[in-house]
């Protein structure tokens, strides 16, 4: 290939990466800011424990359910079009969320925002994999994942400052100018698809079954600890999953253009790689929220203080993400994924060992740094290992399958953490936990919450060990 052509191709790849990274910073900032500002939002909107938790869970559940659907639609209608539509939807929903009169309207707008977020997440890694040559893909993926770390670095402090200084509505409104800037830049630089690169065919019944089956499962997992297995909502979700799953498997095995390519899971490397994504998400999901809430509900800190104290995780994750791309020149992405998962496990064990109502901050920071470094190395390395070598017209759906399982892990992890940390407390005190005011009550309630934190961290550490085992099994399968 002539030097000028290579230079042009590389320039276009980095321009594509700039759009994807800016949008990733946007979504990451919003998520991490809400994690820290949630107690402030709950106080000012009068949100109960259910509404407060659904401000987080509603976004994650919706994004997860729509991943595969949008992955298939992107392969069919074009990733550029889907990505720009996602940016527009996300930005509009942020504007409307800031205008919401109550907590449940915020939940509704977060669901709409999640529709846009699903379009973005489904296509981000696929756009990068399409744009970068193989020898530079690790670098591109590392910078992409680092963009979430940058958001994690700024978001907690930003969320605390906005909530305290300008009011909780600005936790949503700051997205609007940023989103419009990303949308304009995307229109200008995202490459238009070349003719003939898209697959034909859309499996309508398969998409409906995905929504019903996965949505029912995630709804049941999110609500069973609060409502119980016999509640109609939980029972209905489980029934939708149990009835829908065999119907979905039969449909996909016969469809000409299936939503989910079940044959991919017969490849052990892909199966263990996506399993590792799921387990890693369950193990580490919610750490920013979990620790920010710890400093507010247990230690009595203000949101800005809590946001500053979780910065070591984001800084370490950013360093790990950027480094992973260059480290892939020295060793394989699969080896780095094992190392990253093991480091995350070590960090969770440290957090478990030091957790108390008066843990020295230095000890917490060490655990956060290890978790951040491990996650920063694992995510881009594991993504590269899964997507490497796939044809362009399959990147969207395969990346969507990876993200679906990863985001299912996020929902399961968040629901698990929220349920476990409040389990030792009386139900009447759960709202005080989410409002960050539990530290103002008796010491006995605080110690009960700390017990819940130990249970949650122990569970997360055990799941992280399974992530390491999955990564090792993937290496042996190739």
C-beta neighbour count of 102 within 10 angstroms: 12
Burial of 428 from C-beta contacts in 10 A (0-12 / 13-18 / 19+)? exposed
* DSSP letter assigned to residue 388: T
Which is nearest to 108 in space by CA: 170, 59, 63? 59
Distance CA 404, CA 115 (A): 14
- For 470, how many CA atoms within 13 A lie in the half-sphere containing its CB? 22
| Look-up of token digits 């008066």 | 358
pLDDT band at 462 (very low <50, low <70, confident <90, very high): very high
**How much is the pLDDT for 352?**
94
Query: Residue 398 in contact with residue 386, Cβ under 8 Å?
Result: yes
pLDDT at 27: 86
- The model's pLDDT over 312-355, given as tens digits with 9 standing for 90+, comes to 887 898 888 888 878 887 888 889 999 999 999 999 999 999 99
Let me know: does 417 contact 409? Beta carbons within 8 Å: no
**What count of other Cβ atoms lies within 10 Å of the Cβ of residue 358?**
7
H-helix segments, 99-133: 103-131
CA distances from 13 to 37, 135, 259, 453 (A): 36, 13, 28, 43
From 408, 395, 348, select the one nearest 372 (Cα to Cα).
348
Contact 96, 436 (CB under 8 A): no
pLDDT digits (tens, 9 = 90+) for 267-292: 777 888 889 989 998 888 768 778 88
| Per-residue pLDDT, 4 | 46
SS3 344: helix
Q: Are 288 and 311 in contact (CB under 8 A)?
A: no
Residue 124 above 50 pLDDT? yes
By three-state DSSP, how is residue 47 classified? coil
Distance between CA atoms of residues 284 and 128, nearest Å: 25
pLDDT at 55 exceeding the cut of 80: yes
Per-residue pLDDT band at 233 (split at 50, 70, 90): confident
**How confident is the model at residue 201, as a pLDDT?**
60
Sign for the pseudo-dihedral over CA of 233, 418, 457, 446:
negative
Q: What percent of the chain has pLDDT over 90?
A: 19
- Cβ atoms 225, 419 nearer than 8 A: yes
CA–CA distance from 44 to each of 41, 52, 298 (Å)? 5, 11, 20
Q: What is the pLDDT of residues 160-195, one digit of tens each?
A: 788 778 888 888 898 899 899 999 998 998 887 665
pLDDT at 7: 55
User: Which pLDDT score, from 0 to 100, does residue 85 have?
Assistant: 93
DSSP state of 262: G
C-alpha distances in angstroms, 221 versus 35, 91, 463, 474? 20, 29, 17, 28
- What pLDDT is recorded for position 437? 66
Average per-residue pLDDT for the chain: 81
More confident residue, 420 or 279: 279
User: SS3 for 393?
Assistant: helix
Residues 81-122 pLDDT 10s: 889 999 999 999 999 998 888 888 998 999 999 999 989 988
Per-residue pLDDT tens over the stretch 142-165? 788 778 767 766 777 787 788 778
pLDDT for residue 146? 77
pLDDT at residue number 5: 47
What is the Cα–Cα distance from 206 to 255, expressed in whole angstroms? Answer: 8
Burial of 253 (0-12, 13-18, 19+ CB in 10 A): exposed
């Amino acid at each position: 290939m002539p030097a000028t052509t290579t230079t042009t191709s590389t320039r276009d790849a980095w321009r594509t990466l700039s759009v994807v990274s800016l949008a990733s910073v946007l979504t990451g900032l919003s998520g991490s800011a809400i994690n820290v500002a949630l107690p402030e939002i709950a106080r000012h909107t009068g949100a109960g424990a259910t509404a407060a938790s659904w401000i987080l869970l509603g976004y994650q559940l919706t994004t997860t359910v729509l991943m595969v659907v949008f992955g298939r639609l992107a392969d069919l209608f074009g990733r550029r079009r889907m990505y720009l539509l996602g940016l527009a939807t996300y930005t509009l929903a942020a504007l409307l969320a800031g205008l919401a009169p109550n907590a449940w309207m915020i939940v509704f707008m977060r669901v709409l925002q999640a529709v846009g977020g699903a379009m973005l997440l489904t296509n981000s890694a696929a756009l990068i994999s399409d744009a970068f040559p193989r020898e530079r893909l690790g670098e591109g993926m590392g910078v992409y994942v680092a963009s979430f770390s940058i958001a994690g670095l700024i978001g907690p402090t930003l969320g605390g400052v906005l909530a305290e200084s300008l009011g909780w509505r600005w936790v949503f409104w700051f997205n609007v100018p940023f989103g419009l800037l990303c949308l304009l830049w995307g229109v200008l630089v995202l490459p238009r698809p070349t003719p003939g690169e898209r697959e034909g065919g859309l499996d309508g019944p398969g998409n409906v079954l995905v929504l019903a089956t996965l949505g029912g499962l995630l709804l049941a997992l999110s609500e069973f600890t609060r409502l119980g297995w016999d509640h109609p909502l939980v029972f209905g979700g489980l029934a939708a999953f149990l009835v829908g799953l065999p119907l979905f498997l039969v449909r996909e095995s016969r469809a000409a253009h299936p939503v989910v390519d079940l044959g991919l899971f017969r490849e052990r490397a892909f199966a263990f790689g996506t399993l590792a994504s799921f387990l890693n998400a369950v193990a580490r999901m919610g750490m920013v929220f979990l620790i920010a809430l710890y400093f507010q509900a247990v230690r009595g800190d203000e949101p800005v203080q809590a946001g500053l104290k979780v910065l070591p995780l984001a800084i370490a994750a950013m360093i790990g993400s950027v480094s992973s791309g260059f480290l892939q020149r020295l060793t394989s992405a699969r080896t780095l994924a094992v190392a990253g998962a093991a480091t995350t496990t070590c960090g969770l064990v440290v957090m478990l060992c030091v957790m108390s109502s008066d843990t020295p901050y230095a000890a917490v920071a060490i655990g956060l740094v290890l978790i951040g470094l491990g996650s920063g190395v694992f995510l881009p390395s594991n993504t590269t290992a899964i997507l490497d070598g796939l044809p362009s017209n399959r990147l969207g759906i395969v990346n969507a399958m990876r993200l679906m399982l990863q985001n299912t892990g996020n929902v399961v992890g968040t629901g698990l953490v929220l349920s476990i940390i409040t389990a030792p407390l009386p139900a009447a005190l759960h709202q005080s936990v989410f409002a960050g005011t539990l530290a103002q009550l008796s010491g006995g309630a605080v110690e009960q919450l700390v017990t819940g934190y130990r249970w949650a961290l122990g569970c997360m550490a055990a799941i992280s060990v399974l992530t390491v085992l999955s990564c090792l099994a993937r290496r042996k399968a190739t």
